[in-house]
């Protein structure tokens, strides 16, 4: 299949480049500059994957333990099944909306996507939900719990964490199992 497609692909790319050269004769340098800049940005925003216990500490400090009545284990379990703790995880859904970040928060209702006009209930750019600083993602997750009355928003949580003994998820993260911050 790829053998058959690649000549077409190359031809398309070549004609696209020709077209660009015809329409934008002097802007080749600009395009190259933009591509270099984009490459730099992609490198600079390398994906960050947290460890379970590092997340436990961040979540705990941010007041997620028992937020909305959901213990810390619920949050860690949910983040695992939604994103595998990958802060840059992005999933494009069939309706064209995108799930962003460690909590896979959807652009249709909760954040502001670059192009589309969405509800943006969290008053935040979706891009702020895919950084290693989890502040905005946590604020937005709290809002989701409040506005939707629970954690049912997260399918990963419903399928794998709801009704389970989720205390396992924070096990070993605190010395002597009492909360010590270090």
Ligand X SMILES: *[C@@H]1O[C@H](CO)[C@@H](O)[C@H](O)[C@H]1NC(C)=O
Q: Do the Cβ atoms of 15 and 49 come closer than 8 Å? A: no
Nearer to ligand X, 71 or 88 (CB): 88
Q: Do the Cβ atoms of 126 and 98 come closer than 8 Å? A: yes
Positions in 116-155 near ligand X (CB under 6 A): none
Q: Which stretch binds ligand X (CB under 6 A): 22-30, 57-65, 82-90, 105-113?
A: 82-90
Q: Do the Cβ atoms of 174 and 91 come closer than 8 Å? A: no
Catalytic, out of 99, 118, 136, 162: 99
Distances (CA, A) of 165 to 45, 71, 72, 133, 169: 35, 10, 11, 28, 9
Give yes or no for residue 86 binding ligand X (CB under 6 A).
yes
Nearer to ligand X, 59 or 100 (CB): 100
d(CA 33, CA 181): 46
Q: In whole angstroms, how close is the CB of 40 to ligand X at the nearest point? A: 17
Q: Which residues are marked as active site?
A: 82, 99
Under the rule (CB under 6 A), what is the footprint of ligand X? 47, 49, 86, 88-90
């Amino acid at each position: 299949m790829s053998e058959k497609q690649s000549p077409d692909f190359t031809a398309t790319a070549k004609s696209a480049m020709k077209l660009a050269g015809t329409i934008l004769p002097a802007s080749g340098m600009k395009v190259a500059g933009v591509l270099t800049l984009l490459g730099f940005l992609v490198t600079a925003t390398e994906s960050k994957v947290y460890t379970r216990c590092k997340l436990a500490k961040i979540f705990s400090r941010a007041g997620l333990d028992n937020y909305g009545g959901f213990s810390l284990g619920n949050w860690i379990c949910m983040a695992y099944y939604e994103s595998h703790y990958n802060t840059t995880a992005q999933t494009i859904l069939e309706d064209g909306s995108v799930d962003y970040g460690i909590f896979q928060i959807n652009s249709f209702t909760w954040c502001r996507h670059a192009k589309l006009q969405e509800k943006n209930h969290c008053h935040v750019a979706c891009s702020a939900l895919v950084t290693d600083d989890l502040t905005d993602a946590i604020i937005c997750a709290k809002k989701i719990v409040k506005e939707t009355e629970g954690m049912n928003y997260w399918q990963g949580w419903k399928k794998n964490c709801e009704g389970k003994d989720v205390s396992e998820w924070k096990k070993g993260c605190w010395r002597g199992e009492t909360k010590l911050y270090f």
